[in-house]
């Protein structure tokens, strides 16, 4: 009997060892082996990666492919020509990414960009309009993958800055446009003065029909005489509309390249700080109050900084709401929306015409 008890105890002990994987036998463990290294789970790709429609202040409309994981970007024109570069990752994803490109040959690198969910804003080196041989300089741009495709959602009143580059120089146009009728009609004030649309002299009111372009998100303008007047888009930037247009001008002197940007008309102007770039190739920081606008610019040629301070005034009883003008020096105009701010030089002034600053409100 004692021998039988000892045999039963031994059997139980052996079964316990086998169940634990002990004893070196072939029982093994039912638990998965523990890895000696890191996780096999890869982090999700940055949601901001992808393809964007690209509107630039050198008057070109191109496409942008950007990868914030690989820190690369490529800008491709309509003919298939492309330019690529790399990005310097900032401390936070909402901060400014530095841009590196073989096209940057100046002493200071003033190119950089910011990224929102569906919008990229900044400056990259692009072809200087009408340069021969072609040369490159940093130009402001805005790129969107959230263009409005439902016509009724185009409606709004937009304060618009436009800069033209021609074979003989540059110029600016400051004004306002209204899109109405469920996105079917654009009314512009084309006067040399700066008016709200409803205050525009009758002889300076231009009305165009809006139709969908073959390219999704782009819209065509046709005059009352059937003349094609150009294309535009409305992008969505963090819940707000922004008016965008870039390309060669169909009804201007050959070699005219146009860039337009418009912000929703606003009833007020509030203080902000901004960072951006300009058609002068500069990297700019801005501090604005209800009555002043200060801009400090770093030049690409030498890396030196220059500053200018402007006293602001509203546009009076007939001018666009939310836009501001300067009392001097030189003559500039300013506008802002939730995430963007802009400054343009007065038209017809050799010292300011064609200048545009575009920045991100931070």
**What is the tens place of the pLDDT at every residue in 171-182?**
999 999 999 999
Average pLDDT, integer, range 324-348: 91
Phi then psi dihedrals of residue 79, to 5 deg: -90, 0
Is residue 35 over pLDDT 60? no
Q: Is residue 123 part of a domain?
A: yes
Q: Is residue 227 part of a domain?
A: no
Q: Which of 255, 276, 54, 55 is nearest to 164 (CA)?
A: 255
Q: Is residue 54 part of a domain?
A: yes
Is residue 221 over pLDDT 70? yes
Phi then psi dihedrals of residue 19, to 5 deg: -65, -25
Count how many domains the chain has: 1
Q: Is residue 302 part of a domain?
A: no
Q: What percent of the chain has pLDDT over 70?
A: 88
What is the model's pLDDT at position 4? 34
Note down the domain range covering 120.
Answer: 50-144
Is residue 239 over pLDDT 90? yes
Whether the bond between 15 and the residue before it is cis, its omega within 30 degrees of 0, is: no
One-letter-per-residue 3-state SS of 82-105 = EEEEEEECCCCCCCCEEEECCCCC
What is the model's pLDDT at position 328? 63
Q: Is residue 290 part of a domain?
A: no
Q: How many CB atoms lie within 10 A of CB 5?
A: 9
Q: Is residue 104 part of a domain?
A: yes
Q: Is residue 272 part of a domain?
A: no
- DSSP assignment letter at 151: G
Report whether 242 contacts 157 (CB < 8 A).
no
- pLDDT category at 39 given cuts 50, 70, 90 is low
- pLDDT category at 41 given cuts 50, 70, 90 is confident
Q: Is residue 162 part of a domain?
A: no
**What is the CATH classification number for the domain harbouring 104?**
2.40.160
């Amino acid at each position: 009997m004692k021998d039988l008890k000892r045999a039963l105890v031994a059997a139980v002990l052996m079964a316990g060892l086998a169940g634990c994987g002990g004893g070196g036998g072939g029982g093994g463990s039912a638990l998965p082996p523990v890895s000696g290294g890191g996780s096999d789970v890869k982090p999700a790709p940055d949601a901001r990666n992808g393809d964007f429609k690209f509107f630039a202040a050198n008057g070109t409309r191109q496409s942008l492919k950007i990868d914030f994981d690989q820190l690369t970007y490529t800008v491709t024109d309509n003919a298939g020509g492309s330019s690529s570069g790399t990005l310097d990752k900032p401390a936070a994803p909402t901060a400014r990414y530095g841009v590196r490109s073989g096209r940057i040959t100046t002493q200071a690198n003033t190119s950089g960009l910011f990224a929102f969910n569906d919008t990229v804003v900044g400056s990259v080196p692009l072809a200087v309009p009408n340069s021969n041989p072609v040369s490159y300089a940093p130009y402001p741009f805005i790129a969107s993958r959230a263009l409005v495709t439902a016509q009724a959602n185009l409606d709004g009143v937009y304060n618009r800055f436009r800069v033209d580059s021609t074979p003989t120089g540059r110029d600016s146009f400051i004004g306002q446009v209204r899109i109405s009728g469920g996105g079917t009609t654009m009314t512009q004030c084309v006067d040399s003065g700066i008016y709200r649309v409803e205050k525009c002299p009758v002889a300076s009111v231009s009305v165009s029909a809006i139709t969908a372009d073959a390219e999704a998100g782009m819209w065509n303008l046709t005059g009352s005489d059937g003349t094609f007047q150009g294309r535009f888009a409305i992008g969505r930037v963090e819940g707000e509309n922004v008016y965008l247009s870039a390309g060669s001008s169909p009804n201007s002197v050959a070699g005219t390249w146009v860039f337009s940007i418009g912000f929703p008309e606003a009833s007020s102007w509030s203080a902000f700080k901004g960072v951006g770039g300009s058609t002068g190739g500069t990297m700019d920081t801005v501090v604005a109050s209800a009555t002043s606008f200060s801009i400090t610019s770093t030049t690409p040629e030498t890396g030196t900084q220059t500053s200018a301070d402007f006293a602001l005034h509203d546009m009076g009883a007939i001018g666009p709401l939310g836009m501001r003008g300067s009392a001097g020096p030189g003559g500039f105009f300013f506008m802002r929306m939730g995430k963007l701010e802009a400054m343009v030089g007065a038209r017809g002034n050799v010292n300011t015409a064609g200048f545009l600053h575009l920045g991100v409100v931070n």
